[in-house]
Amino acid sequence: MEFYLDLVPDENPSEEMRRSMEEDFDRYRDVAVETLRKRLEAKSIFEAEIAPSGERGIVLRAPIVSRDEKAQLRDLIQMSAKLHFRLVIPANEEQLTGYKSNPASIPYHAELMEYVEEVDGKPVVRRFLVSRTIEMDGRNITMARAQRDQMTGRLQITLQFNSDGAMDFKRVTESNIGKQLAIVLDGKLYCAPNINEAIAGGSAQISGDFTEDEAKGIADALVSGSFPFRIDVQATFDTDPTLGRASVENGIYVGIISLIVVAVFMVIYYRFSGLISVVALALNVMLILGAMAAFDCTLTLPGIAGIVLTIGMAVDANVLIFERIREELKGGKSLLNAVNAGYDRALSAVVDSNITTLITSFILMYVGTGAIKGFAVTLCIGILSSLFSAVFVTRLIYDGLFRFCDIKKLTMMQLVKESKFDFIKAWRYALIFSAVIMLVLIGCFVVRGKGVMGIDFTGGSAITFNYAEKGNTSEMASMLKRAGYDEPSVTYKTNIAAEDGNGEFLEVRLRGSQDNAEMTKAKVGSLLQQNFPECGIVMEGSNIQQLSGLIGKEFTKAALWAIALALVGIGAYIVFRYELSYAVAAVLALLHDVLAVLAIYLISGRTIGLTTVAAFLTVIGYSINDTVVVFDRLRENLQLHKGTKFGDLVNLSVNQTVSRTLITSLTTFIVVFIMWLFGGPEISDFVFVMMWGIILGTYSSVFLSGPFVSWRMGRKAAKQGGK
């Protein structure tokens, strides 16, 4: 769904407000964009695209399809959420009836307002003469919640003010005891309760004849803020999927194929145990999709990123357990004891790796916006379901089999028989390699400058054409990209309000062009006519307009804060579970992975947008798992091999976990590689980042994290020895 919105200032703004809006309208529009985003997020719509359009407009696109959702969203958008507390002027029923029949007789400082109240099952109209003077507004509201009155069972909205609002509300009620206080929202009177005493608790209630959706919508709008202007919906469009219908269907098939390949690999490599993990993985996917449906979450590309990471983590947990079982069997334990020991000893690594990612997702959920929040919500659900399915369900299956079946042995393949590589010695070469990548990254930013930012940041152009027949939008976008246009996006749109039957058109979005607007429109139209003659592209009636970036200052600031807090949260947990040196190593490894992948991404000539933001967050979540597993084994070996040199223990720990690291990376890489081969150009950037994130995340966990801790510990020991 797409809305073109126009911001209309209030009819009678204060002189200060009017001057401020004239001088800095863009700031007020940014406030409107963020307020709209908060309102949509309150409705679990995390993937909305909201951006400035033209001089005074906003374009809003949201992934919703049902008619009821569209109507509710339209109402929510148009709600200014101006809450006013005004006094009721005493007037008898005869006066009110006179004002009703002769509106011109109403005093200039008042207005006649009414609402409908249900009494004994019948609607009764209540009329009041309400002062135009605003005693207090709703700018200091911190909480608004729709709930039912315990006495009447009717819906009401409970408000909570901050300290300033509480003081204002106490002042208003204290100085007007015995009077009626009209509660007016967006010019509509909802109730006019009597003030019996001063209210100092900083709370209030709005009663009225609400539906549940209306009460919740009003509450959400009050919390998200009010506008100093009115929002008019200028046009409403239905849009085809941004990824294209063919790409969506193709993506589903690719996802199924990827899961099948991973399942086959697990069964071949771990045999019977692999079959158990496949059952748990299938249950995990069903739990994720079921939970998203239950919580009314929208699944878009960032959400799919969360599912991909969840699948990798679920497989990772099973691989950790199976590799532990293998070690215990190799140590001479019986099958039952080996399984029990495998689960017990792998549990700390599984829990630590999932909790670090969960910390990341919680921080991203509460600090991030838009695509970041959509990714975080999916990831939170996925982590909890993965822990349940990969640990509890698989253990339950094993217990049931041991109880009711006569299992004598478990056979598994082994990719790495016995590793004895000296990772400490290789560290200096790894540092040189990483330093070269960082220099390449700096060089890309110097050479390309603002060219590294995609249309989501920079904005671009939107060109619309009439057409005779629909064509393949993915092929059109690929053709325009080959012709030299940056980030082409092609989709079909339908103007819902069109009455002449000509409401359908083709929209082409481009990042930018060296030509002027009219020349760009002519060239693009000509290319479409030449390459897709069956579509009957018509130049007459075509239009081009400039688009602002979807990612504004607020989103960028929120994204940077979210990533910074996520790194701090991960570091704090690792300090709690291990110590400071481990935390520093983990955070530096994560930064290294993000920057290294970014360097390779920019070398390939790609640009940064919303999709890549989600992909880099996925890299952070994935990379920390490998690092935590190595740290967990290092902590265990410190207890088992006391007196051994720390560097030798690091080598031992990395070598012991390298088989698990390679298997986990391989299974996740299979999923992403198949998506890259067959998923289509629309998700190419996302899977490209993921592929390199897996490779470099594995590299940093093996060659950088452990050796860094060894270096830090060596320096620490040297200082203590010197003292």
Which tens digit of pLDDT belongs to each residue from 640-654? 888 788 888 888 888
Query: Is a pLDDT exceeding 70 seen at residue 577?
Result: yes
Give me the mean pLDDT over the 126-139 stretch.
87
Query: Is a pLDDT exceeding 60 seen at residue 551?
Result: no
Query: Is a pLDDT exceeding 50 seen at residue 151?
Result: yes
Which tens digit of pLDDT belongs to each residue from 489-541? 788 888 776 555 457 888 888 876 556 778 888 888 888 888 888 888 888 87
Residue 369: its pLDDT value, please? 59
Q: Is 329:411 a contact under the CB 8 Å cutoff?
A: no
Lowest mean pLDDT of 261-270, 398-407, 613-622, name the range. Answer: 613-622
d(CA 380, CA 355): 10
Dihedral (Cα; 179, 182, 183, 186), 10-degree rounding:
-160
The DSSP secondary-structure symbol of 90 reads: P
Give me the mean pLDDT over the 283-308 stretch.
75
Q: Is 49:41 a contact under the CB 8 Å cutoff?
A: no
Residue 679 has φ and ψ, to the nearest 5°, of: -80, -10
Which tens digit of pLDDT belongs to each residue from 630-682? 888 888 888 888 878 888 888 888 888 888 788 888 887 887 787 777 766 66
pTM: 0.66
**245-446+553-722, CATH topology level:** Multidrug efflux transporter AcrB transmembrane fold (1.20.1640)
* SS3 state of residue 12: coil
d(CA 524, CA 307): 37
Q: Does domain 460-547 have CATH number 3.30.70.260?
A: yes
Query: Is a pLDDT exceeding 80 seen at residue 719?
Result: no
Highest mean pLDDT among 142-146, 519-523, 546-550, 622-626: 519-523
Alpha helices in 301-334 (DSSP H): 301-330
The DSSP secondary-structure symbol of 188 reads: E
Residue type present at position 575: V
Q: How far is CA 581 from CA 174, 577, 587, in A?
A: 59, 12, 10
d(CA 316, CA 314): 5
From the list 446, 430, 428, the residue with the least C-alpha distance to 599 is 446
d(CA 462, CA 455): 11
Highest mean pLDDT among 62-71, 553-562, 589-598: 589-598
Query: Is a pLDDT exceeding 60 seen at residue 54?
Result: yes
Q: For the beta carbon of residue 450, count every other beta carbon within 10 angstroms.
A: 9
CA 656 to chain centre: 36
Query: Is a pLDDT exceeding 60 seen at residue 342?
Result: yes
Which tens digit of pLDDT belongs to each residue from 160-206? 888 888 888 889 888 998 888 888 887 888 888 888 888 887 887 77
- Give the residue extent of every domain in the chain: 1-80, 82-226, 245-446+553-722, 460-547
The single residue listed with the structure tokens 């300033």 is 164
Query: Is a pLDDT exceeding 50 seen at residue 723?
Result: no
Q: How far is CA 199 from CA 223, 395, 556, in A?
A: 21, 57, 41
Q: In three state form, how does the secondary structure of 108-127 look?
A: CCEEEEEEEEEECCEEEEEE
Residue 87: its pLDDT value, please? 92
Residue 547: its pLDDT value, please? 66
**82-226, CATH topology level:** Gyrase A; domain 2 (3.30.1360)
Q: Is 637:649 a contact under the CB 8 Å cutoff?
A: yes
> Fold identical between 1-80 and 82-226?
no
Supply the mean pLDDT for the chain.
Answer: 79
Residue type present at position 276: I
Dihedral (Cα; 544, 550, 552, 556), 10-degree rounding:
-150
H-helix or E-strand spanning residue 51 = strand 49-53
Question: Which CATH number fits the domain 1-80, given the four candidates 3.30.70.3400, 1.50.10.10, 3.60.70.12, 1.10.10.60?
Answer: 3.30.70.3400
Confidence bin at 21 (pLDDT 50/70/90):
low
